[in-house]
Chains A and B, each alone.
Chain A
Amino acid sequence: MASDIYQQNSPNGYNNYSFPGVLHYLQMEWRKFEKERTEWEIERADLKTRLSFLEGERRGIENLKVDLLRRIKMLEYALRQESNNEEEQVEDNNVNDKKQENTKAPETKEDVNALNVKLNKTGNKDQSLRYQLSIKNEEANALTPTPMKIGYWNPSSNNSSSLNDLKNLKHNSESLSGINNISNNNNSLQKSIKTATYTTMNKEKNLKPVNSSSNNINNASNNNNNMNGNNNEYNLIVKKKMNGKRKEAPLSKLCNYYFIHLDTVRSLSFHHTDKVLLSGSDDGTAKLWNLEFLGNTKKSMIDIDPVYTYRGHLGPVLSVDISDDICYTGGFDSTIRSWKVPPKNMELYSKYDSSIKQHVFEGHTDAVWCVKAHPLKDQYHLLASASSDGTVKLWDTESYELKSTLDYNGLVSESKEVEANPTYINWLHTDYSKAIVSYQNSIVKLFDLETGSEYMKLPSAETYDNTPGTQINQVISHPTMPLIITAHEDCFIRFFDIKSGECIHSMTAHLDGVSSLSVHPSGISFASGGHDSSIRIWDIASKNCIQEMSSHRKKFDEGVWCVKYHPTLSNILASCGGDSTSKIYSVDQPC
């Protein structure tokens, strides 16, 4: 505009400024600036309202944050109260320990406190991060959540129910999956709530093991590490869930069901269809437990007596297996014994029945570390045993005859020098004519049951260093996939594809030797137990740890010795270990 005026005037001459022309120009300029000023002013007002709006929003979210933190504190407090109660009941010993072990106990307390502080910190950090994120989110998406909504989440309205909320969290696993399902929801408020819920869940999980396994804490030196590891793991798990990758995690909860022996419990076996558990212990007995009460009782702690105590082995019972109504036990005394499952209506202290004892399989010359009955009982009627005399023996369960003896190289004709002792036997579930045997030298071999010849040798000794410190403790096969998983004494879990015979994945899975593995009946996850006293549950597809539980205490360096899923009833997991106990974990049972 200005240049137009100038040009209109310019043709007449170089210095040709007329007064009205200048005046007009100035008026035009003034009007222009004035217009711009009002525009700016409007814009400024707009921005001011936007600012105050955002500030209000921020305040609202801050209120929410405070409320949620308060709620977390409350839940934490309630949890701590509850676990303190538990601790008082189960191990109020710490106080007592203090008197005797002046050096250890204070460290223990400090550890717990430090851990709690750490938990609080991570919780807070997590929270604030979340809030920053959610605010950014809103700006980007120009979402306009009204701060009014926050009132709905105000603890003033559901203050009193927060304890119940906690209970619900503990007792109702569905709430968790429900929360999972809204992971795609963009509403930042819900997201925040979810974070809070997860954080509490996170803490719940963290607190539980801390309080329920005081030996972990007592082993003050190794322990810090361990706990930090757990902490990370939990965060990891929670984050993973936040990404919405895992929808149906087979979460297990610790139940207060203990089955107590007098010494280390080394082996467990579930009945194929019934809720019956067999456990074998260093106390020389195998005990049969009836779990029918699972789901039928809401009592949190009941004393459970064994249905039957099998006495016959002199020395520890190292391995147990139930096949239909026959129990097989392998002992330190080189024998394998078979026992009848007593009738269900048998009373607790009834008359001694000598017909319970069925047969003693004799032939091994050293400790029998593993017994396994063939799952196709009618077709194979076969029992396999692995002993530290270096051999695997196959027995006929009907004639009780020894069918064949396999050493490291297959069928034995004459006794030779032993190369490596077998540690565990299993059946290849995708081909029942094969037995899988793991050895002290970290090798896994597959043998053909008919010919007794070596069918396959897995390259599993990657980290073997000529000591039993790197041996394989257990080997399992997937129920449907051609997959073998091995548990190594040097913390590894390895996965092998049977088709190619190659290692497809290798991971350090525990902080100490991995002792046991068990695949969930659904086949989507498996559990592992280790001498770090922890039980971890893994997703088979992603090989990610879904959950960790730490509920056993060590005797010497023996933590968890065995984990077992019930083969047909989903969601019953049992574990046993050095602390003389077996425990049951389950999802859908009231705990």
Chain B
Amino acid sequence: MTEVENNNTKEEQVTSPSTPGDNNKKKETIVRRNRPGSKSEQWGNWPELSFENMNSTCAVQQYIQLLIKRNPEDIKTIVTCPENQDPNVWQYEHLRLICLELNPLLIMLSEECHPDVCDTMKATDDAEFFCAAHPKAQPCSAIDYSIHTVDGSISLLNCHSFFPTRVSIQPSSLKHFSNISRRLYRIFAHAWFHHREIFVEFEHQTHLYARFLYFSTKAFNLISPKVVIIPSEACNIDFD
């Protein structure tokens, strides 16, 4: 009999309105959530949370997105790894976000960069790049190269055997950062040399190339300066 009674009290504890009610009182302060039906101007429109108070596994992503939202032109602040932050995780999350933010560029390119015009992946005429997303690297048209490279990079960054967790990075997987960066750079390069208007418009909106360049050459040594072929005028932000 005692057991049955226990059972009931437990049930009450679980379903009694007091528990969530208390919860609400606590949460009434700020709920950082984009609720269905909310206006687009309300999107992410909540008070900033300090990095120390972000304690979920998505904290680094949250923090970088917050910095970008605060001022996308403040490249140095966005890219510089905070103290006490694992720089490898920092790079990992930055690369994820760069892949994410390349999405609009791919959409813009797909309107203009047709396989019959840009049948090979080139920046300048010096070199043709082979697409590494396939089991064996092969020549792909520029738009295919761009999409395959972004998809392949995302796939690699989400690959469980290389990056099993977002909170620490295996030393053996660090080499992928520079591989990914080198390939992503070529997408910017192709856009600059072949689709200048798209590049300029995209860069004006996002400052992603400036961030990517500072991230991969200045803040972290992911691509060698020799590879940088886009003239510095492409960056509308002077971070030197």
Contact = CB atoms under 8 A, between A and B. Distances in A.
Contacts of A439: 37
Q: Which of B17, B40, B96 has the most CB of A within 10 A?
A: B40
A137 interface: no
Contact of B56 (A133, A354, A553): A553
B84 A100 contact: yes
Interface stretch (B3-11, B121-129, B213-221): B3-11
Interface string A206-247: 000000001100111010010001001101100100000000
A104 B155 CA distance: 31
Interface string B30-47: 011111111110010010
Contacts of A214: 57
Contact of B148 (A101, A349, A510): A349
Interface stretch (A151-159, A171-179, A272-280, A303-311): A303-311
B57 A513 contact: no
B11 to A, nearest CB: 6
Given A219-B55, A222-B26, A260-B158, A314 B104 contact: yes
B173 interface: no
A424 B97 CA distance: 29
B27 interface: yes
A567 interface: no
B122 to A, nearest CB: 17
Q: Which of B20, B141, B164 has the most CB of A within 10 A?
A: B20
A283 B37 contact: no
Contact of A370 (B26, B36, B144): B36
A80 to B, nearest CB: 19
A209 to B, nearest CB: 15
Given A215-B57, A262-B154, A284-B103, A96 B35 contact: no
A529 interface: no
A528 interface: no
Contacts of A232: 10, 13-14
Interface stretch (A338-346, A428-436, A554-562): A554-562
Interface in A508-539: 508, 510-513, 531
A553 B58 contact: yes
A270 B141 CA distance: 33
B15 interface: yes
A269 interface: no
B3 A440 contact: no
A512 B23 contact: yes
A306 B74 CA distance: 34
B85 interface: yes
A262 B97 contact: yes
A199 interface: no
Contact of B39 (A306, A388, A423, A469): A388
B10 A491 contact: no
Interface residues of B, number: 73
A323 B106 CA distance: 26
A306 B148 CA distance: 12
> Interface range on chain A: under 10, 10 to 19, 20 to 34, or 35 or more?
35 or more
A353 to B, nearest CB: 10
Q: Which of A236, A314, A334, A424 has the most CB of B within 10 A?
A: A236
Contacts of A233: 14
Contacts of A284: 100, 103-104
Contact of B20 (A218, A510, A579): A510
Contacts of B13: 229, 232
A590 interface: no
Nearest to A421: B37
A369 B3 contact: no
Interface string A573-588: 0000011100000000
Q: Which of A260, A334, A471, A578 has the most CB of B within 10 A?
A: A260
B240 interface: no
A490 B40 CA distance: 22
B115 A579 contact: no
A92 B35 contact: no
B134 interface: yes
Nearest to B13: A232
A301 B158 CA distance: 13
A545 B33 CA distance: 26
B133 A349 contact: yes
B26 to A, nearest CB: 7
A400 interface: no
Nearest to A581: B158
Given A262-B96, A352-B115, A556-B33, A578 B58 contact: yes
Contacts of A579: 57-58
A407 interface: no
A396 interface: no
Contact of A93 (B24, B35, B148, B168): B168
Nearest to B32: A556
A388 B37 contact: yes
A497 interface: no
Q: Which of B28, B97, B166 has the most CB of A within 10 A?
A: B166
A334 B19 CA distance: 38
A200 interface: no
A151 to B, nearest CB: 29
Nearest to B46: A556
Contacts of B224: none
A369 B36 contact: yes
B96 A351 contact: no
Contact of B58 (A90, A420, A440, A554): A554
A580 B104 contact: no
Contacts of B155: 303, 305
A118 B207 CA distance: 52
B80 interface: no
Nearest to A267: B36
Contacts of A225: 19, 23
Given A214-B57, A232-B14, A556-B46, 16 more contacts: A92-B167, A215-B55, A239-B7, A262-B96, A303-B155, A303-B161, A349-B131, A351-B115, A351-B144, A366-B40, A367-B43, A440-B35, A469-B24, A511-B23, A513-B35, A555-B58
29 contacts: A96-B168, A100-B86, A101-B55, A215-B55, A218-B56, A218-B57, A220-B55, A225-B23, A235-B10, A284-B104, A303-B155, A303-B159, A309-B151, A318-B36, A349-B144, A351-B115, A351-B141, A367-B40, A370-B36, A386-B37, A388-B37, A471-B37, A508-B20, A513-B33, A545-B14, A555-B58, A556-B33, A557-B27, A558-B34
Query: What are the 6 A-B residue pairs with the smallest beta carbon separation, nearest first?
Result: A93-B167, A556-B32, A491-B20, A423-B37, A260-B158, A421-B37
Interface of B: 2-3, 7, 10-11, 13-17, 19-20, 23-24, 26-28, 31-40, 43, 46, 49, 52, 55-58, 61-62, 84-86, 89, 96-97, 99-100, 103-104, 106-107, 110, 115, 131, 133-134, 140-141, 143-144, 147-148, 151-152, 154-155, 158-161, 164-168
